[in-house]
Amino acid sequence: MKVGLSFSRCIRDIVEARVLYEDVLVIVARTDFDPHNDAHWKGIWEGYRYGGMSNPEWANAEPNMSEEEASDIYRHATKQLYDGGKLHQPRQFGAHPARLPYHWLDTFAPEEEIAKNPAAQKAWDNYKLLAGLS
């Protein structure tokens, strides 16, 4: 499972199929918007598409599509996360998290859960062995 730390960069990874929706536990975003609100979405799309108040993370998004089609794809992915409770926006509660140079964290199941599955236990043991070599 993955925890995302940047709305724009994480959504781009999901739309570009570098990360599967099913693998996302939550995205902790530095935003405060509702993707179902057309005015909110327009501001988010234009900000990440063209820059200004934000980095233009989506400047080259879907180059073979119309602007409307590209926006619809990004908005659909955003609504899916939002409606699924996977988009947490601390700014809605007065917090202002800092932008970090990385945008995904990987999570692991508790060891007692891994121990219930022999294949998962073997994979976990191999991972720990390899991680110890570096």
In tens digits, the chain (134 residues) has pLDDT values of 899 999 999 999 999 999 999 999 999 999 999 999 999 999 999 999 998 767 889 998 888 999 999 999 999 999 999 999 999 999 999 988 888 899 999 988 788 888 898 888 888 888 788 877 76
Whether residue 23 lies inside any domain: the answer is yes
Judged by DSSP in three states, 10 sits in helix
End-to-end C-alpha distance for the chain, whole angstroms: 23
Question: What token pair was written down for 73?
Answer: 């794809």
Whether residue 92 lies inside any domain: the answer is yes
What does the pLDDT read at residue 51? 87
Q: What is the DSSP code string of 69-121?
A: HHHHHHHHHHHHHHHTT-EE-GGGGT--PPP-S--EEE----HHHHTT-HHHH
Domain count, the chain: 1
Whether residue 53 lies inside any domain: the answer is yes
Domain range for 103 = 2-109
By DSSP bridging, strand 2-4 and strand 24-28 are: parallel
